[in-house]
Structure 1
Amino acid sequence: MRPAVKRRVLLPTAAALLAALLVPPAPGAAGDRTTATSPAGLAADLDILLADPRLTGAHASVQIADSASGHILYQRHEHALMLPASTLKVVTAASALQLLGPQHRFTTEVRTSGRRSGPVLHGDLVLRGGGDPSLLATDLDALARHLAGTGIRQVTGRLLFDDSRYDSVPLGPGWAWDDQPYYFSPQISALTIAPDEEFDLGTVKVTLTPAAPGGPVGVTVTPAAAPVQFRGRVTTGPPGSEFTAEAVRNLGTNQIGLTGSIPADYGPADEWVTVDDPAAVTATVFAAALRRYGVGVREQQRADGSASAGRVLARHDSAPLAELIVPFLKLSNNGIAEHLVKEIGRMKSGEGSWRAGLEEVSRFLRTNSLDGDRNQADGSGLSRYNLMSAQQFTALLTFARRQPWYDAWYRALPVAGDPRRMVGGTLAGRMRGTLAEGKVHAKTGSMTGVDALTGYVEDASGRLLAFTVLVNHFAGPSPRPVIDRIAIRLAGGDEPARTGAGTAPTSSSGARQWEDCLRHRC
């Protein structure tokens, strides 16, 4: 279990501040909710929950509907524009499934315009990025092994790396500059790799292994050939001492500063750290793989627009999108979200950019009467320029039920209380031991002052409800227990009048909270 990433107090943008001023009065005010025909007591119970003291001064946008018919069962401030955080990923996932298709794959190629003479390739070798958000060092190893298997032993030209499928803007609009070293805010590139099968692209994994008390810890990096340098050191503390180790990249470099200490009895600790210029890092890892297989290459250089016109020597295809959305939604992977937005732009308009991709997303939503007043600045929800309402999310959830890709979408949502990493995901430690366990399939979202949940819940009669709860502008205790209690009530759990408002069960003490500080995802 990795140590907690420190939370920061982020100042809202002008757009967020304006939205706050326009949001209706805080929950509990007269006339701020409406209900349609609903199960007996549901509206009253939800009113009690939304009057919880933890919501004092906060704003909540809530809507609950029958996902098959769209019939509204409860709503409160359903049109209020709120910061969605990672719940925005359901919009990105639905758009990608609709516009790219569940079978869409990302292809990485090795190309050349050179001439082969026996074991010598006369010319440049080009590693061409296809936007694959799941590319691993083992995939590059397989490409190198294939080239060596054709008999190539020497490349007289350069190893060029081509990341031109997407534009050169690495960070999303409204992303915090001081998040850049942390793995939930990676640079986005059409040529990038991840250190493991959770696909935190554009990062390396730094493993810190304690030694004898007082001595320096062992430091290793994955991928091993990644061109990062370490400054400072982490020491080994006495058994039972505080964990204070940090590995933080210096901005604009691939130097990683090491500080703090690890208890001698802690065991290896992993830190995921972003890299600067992921395409160059990927090329370095590929070059090392070529050399391991006996293929000599010269210097590396970024390719120009014409370098990739040659023939294909080797290629790697990603898993289909229907499979990639599982780690994307289960683990709330920010990097995958942004690749999907840029890929949508590239495939639909020929421009792999946030602007082009988000225009296509808006067109898809507008065509299906799902757009309305909203603002989307990225695909992950990391930007504080994003604004959505509960009504828009719930409408998307009901729309999705009628689509051919619904089964893949539903399977990819985190499942409440399921401890399996690729099933429970960000809900693995929530609502365990309640009627909502296994019945809530929903996307979480959290950042400073924001907590949200949107998805589906099976009620006591077996009916599948679509629900959204967005809470913004809280500064005190987290309202998450209130959000969980709403989901539990929808699943047929005890009414708050009997159990006491705001007494929602908390997560298991040993659970890893993937969106809250531990391997934090906003």
Structure 2
Amino acid sequence: MPRRPLLCMLLTLLPLFAQANGFTHLAKLADKGFLLGAEARLLDSGETLGAIAPERQLSPASVSKLYLAAAALDRWGPQHRFTTRLVSLAEPDAHGVLNADLVFDGGGDPMLTSEDLWRLTQRLHQAGVRRVAGRLVVSQWRYGPVECITTDRCQAHSRAANAYSALLSSAGVNYGSWCVSVAPAAVAGAPARITSCDSQAPIVGVDNRVETQPDDSGTRITAERVLRDSGDVMVVSGQISTNAQPRTLYRASSDPARQAASTLLAMLEQAGIEVRDGSAVAATEPPAGARSLAEVDSEPLQELLLRTLNYSNNFMADQLALNLVASPRASLVQAGGVLEAFVAGLPGHGPVTLRSGSGLTPENRTSAAGITVLLESMYHRPALFPSFVAALQSPANGVMRFLRRGSMTFQRQVMIKTGTLNQPVAVRAAGGYFRTRSGQWGVFAALVNGTSTTPWLNWQQVLDPLSADLEAMIDAH
């Protein structure tokens, strides 16, 4: 008799053991103290192929961008475009003079670049404008400056040694980052030649500490953008060989709206359009009677999402999330609330905390089971799924070279989005789709979070076991 209860208990646990066995390699990370959540299942049959604490709430890092992509497609559809305008209360007179301010109405385009600004200035020239008797006013009334809620972005106001922590504005351009090009001088010993990527005229200040060295002596360059009394300055140090090709450097600006103003002023000057009174930044909507003089549309949303997810672009993701907020002066907390409301409409998802669309906020929380519910919901929306899945990467052909690990089965039959954080704890997360050997569709998610006492975690430690586990599932079905 005592054996029967024990046997019944073991029989009830067998399904749990079988599920965990689907991630036999990944599960070994738990022995080192890492917190794991994972799930893989087939979509048509619903069969669970593997699970490790699938309901556990963990940080997804940039896998959060899957929620942003799904919510954006649900709201706008794949062909939606954002419009950036130049407007004014005046029309150019017979001499091409605009006797009023020229207002740059930032439309929240997350991929607005210098090329778009150049197209905008050419259309303004085409409209007959040759001189602006007032100011260039950059309006970021939709959102901006957006309050920083992460350490990286808060520090980026005063200095930045990267581009991923760029600040946010509906009038931002070039992903909120300055760009300079470093080229060698003609002779060794002379300072390198450093120019803006976007204009022959200087746009951002440069503190040039790069020395030209003889042929084949190596190129080692570091750069930091600092905010000084004179404005943003790119401090560039190191050396470059006389026979080296120019190097391009990107660093987050201290104020994306003012960056847009400086860049657009340079474009207007090159187009032969004079602006008499310089530039200013405003948080108010353009006057109701303002007329559009020139417009430029963004790429369609499906293209924006491909860039956002493939390059895990934090600036683009959070810009898109802010655009989801209906009211002006949007904040990241409001944007996170919109995303959470979208998730609340997914049956069976469970709890979620989203403080940003990018995942740069370490407070974001979800579960592996929640991610697979999201992925399954998009799979069953044929009008949206092609654009959604196209934004994920194939390890064999994706832009992130670190994904090219594991067998060719993993390389060719998986579509994946990854997420990485190193502070305050290490996070390595992944989610996506796979096709089995018989052609069935499956979804998976794996979240690995460190603690204050766990060792350093790199992607090899996560991708190698994850790819081995997925390969076994794919081959078995």
Counterparts of 1:387 and 1:142, CA distance in 2: 41
Letter in 1 for 2:33: G
The structure richer in helix per residue is 2
1:483 to 459, 463, 467: 463
Distance 1:396 1:284, change over 3 A: same
Q: Which residue number corresponds to residue 297 of structure 1?
A: 275
1:457, 1:491 within 8 Å by CA — same for their partners in 2? no
Aligned to 1:461: 438
Taking a change above 3 Å as real, the CA distance of residues 44 and 146 of structure 1, as seen in their structure-2 partners, is closer
Q: Which of 303, 312, 315 is 2:292 aligned to?
A: 312
Q: CA deviation at 1:178?
A: 4.0
Inter-partner Cα distance in structure 2 for 1:493 and 1:362: 31
Distance in 2 of aligned mates of 1:464 and 1:104:
28
Greater Cα shift, 164-173 or 441-450:
164-173
Residue type of the alignment partner of 1:80: R
Name the counterpart of 2:413: 439
1:407 is aligned to 386
Aligned to 1:111: 87
**Distance in 2 between the 1:293 and 1:240 partners?**
39
- Determine if the alignment matches structure 1 residue 221 to structure 2 residue 201: no
The CA distance in 2 between the partners of 1:155 and 1:138, in whole Å, is: 22
Gaps of 5+ in 2: 1-9
Match in the other structure for 2:334:
356
More off after superposition, 164-173 vs 380-389: 164-173
| Cα drift, residue 189 of structure 1 | 0.5
Equivalent residues of 2:335, 2:355 under 8 A apart = no
Deviation at 1:167, TM superposition (A): 4.0
Q: CA deviation at 1:104?
A: 1.8
The equivalences for 1:74-113 within 5 A come to 74-113=50-89
For residues 351 and 152 of structure 1, do their structure 2 counterparts lie closer, same or farther at Cα, with a shift above 3 Å needed?
closer
> Cα distance, 1:306 vs. partner?
5.1
Q: Deviations over 1:53-107 (max 9, x none)?
A: 9x61212211111133443221112122222111111111111111232222111
For the residues of structure 2 that align with 1:269 and 1:116, how far apart are their CA atoms? 41
Distance in 2, matches of 1:399 and 1:407, equals 13
Aligned residues of 1:237 and 1:263 also touching (Cα < 8 A)? yes
Instruction: Look up the SS of the partner of 1:257 in the other structure.
Output: strand
- On the 8 A contact 1:85/1:445 being kept in 2, the answer is yes
- How much has 1:213 moved relative to structure 2? 4.6
User: In the alignment, does 2:124 pair up with 1:144?
Assistant: no
Aligned 8 A contact 2:19 2:51 in 1: no
- Distance in 2 (alpha carbons) for counterparts of 1:414 and 1:494: 18
1:5 aligns with none
Structure 1 residue 426 corresponds to structure 2 residue 403: no
How large is the RMSD of aligned CA atoms in angstroms? 2.9
Residue 268 of structure 1 is matched in structure 2 by: 246
Q: Would you say how many aligned residue pairs link Structure 1 and Structure 2?
A: 448
For the residues of structure 2 that align with 1:111 and 1:265, how far apart are their CA atoms? Answer: 46
Residue aligned with 1:369, SS: coil
Question: Gaps spanning 5+ residues in structure 1: where?
Answer: 1-30, 195-200, 419-423, 496-522
Residue 363 of structure 1: SS of its match in structure 2? Answer: helix
Identical pairs, percent: 29
Aligned to 1:186: 166
Q: How does 1:319-358 map to 2 (within 5 A)?
A: 319-346=299-326, 349=327, 352-358=330-336
| Contact 2:79–2:302 (Cα < 8 Å) also in 1 | yes
One-letter code of the match for 1:136? T
User: Residue by residue, what CA displacement relative to the aligned partner does 1:431-473 show, whole Å, maximum 9, x if unpaired?
Assistant: 2652212211110111211112110112222222111111111
TM superposition score normalised by structure 1: 0.78
Q: Match of 2:439, SS?
A: coil
* Residues in 2 aligned to 1:166 and 1:402: alpha-carbon distance in whole angstroms: 33
1:101 and 1:85, CA in 2 relative to 1: closer, same or farther beyond 3 A?
A: same
Distance 1:187 1:392, change over 3 A: same
For residues 183 and 407 of structure 2, the distance between their equivalents in structure 1, rounded to whole angstroms, comes to: 36
- Closer, same or farther in 2 for the Cα pair 1:492/1:226, shift >3 Å? farther
Change (3 A) 1:293 1:457: same
Q: Which residue of 1 aligns with 2:396?
A: 417
One-letter amino acid matched to 1:435: T
- C-alpha contact 1:208 1:219 (8 A) present in aligned 2: yes
Q: CA deviation at 1:487?
A: 2.7
Residue 360 of structure 1 deviates from its aligned partner by: 1.7
* Cα distance between partner residues in 1 of 2:155 and 2:101: 38
Residue 369 (str. 1) matches residue 347 (str. 2)? yes
Residues 201-243 of structure 1: CA distance to partner in whole angstroms, max 9, x if unpaired? 0112222224555443221222225631112412245666665
Q: Give the structure-2-normalised TM-score.
A: 0.85
- 8 Å contact 2:436–2:473 — kept in the other structure? no
Q: Aligned pair in 2 of structure 1 residues 263, 485: CA closer, same or farther (>3 Å)?
A: farther
Whether the aligned pair in 2 keeps the contact of 1:174 and 1:384 (CA below 8 Å) is: no
- C-alpha distance in 1 between matches for 2:312 and 2:130: 42
Distance 1:140 1:465, change over 3 A: same
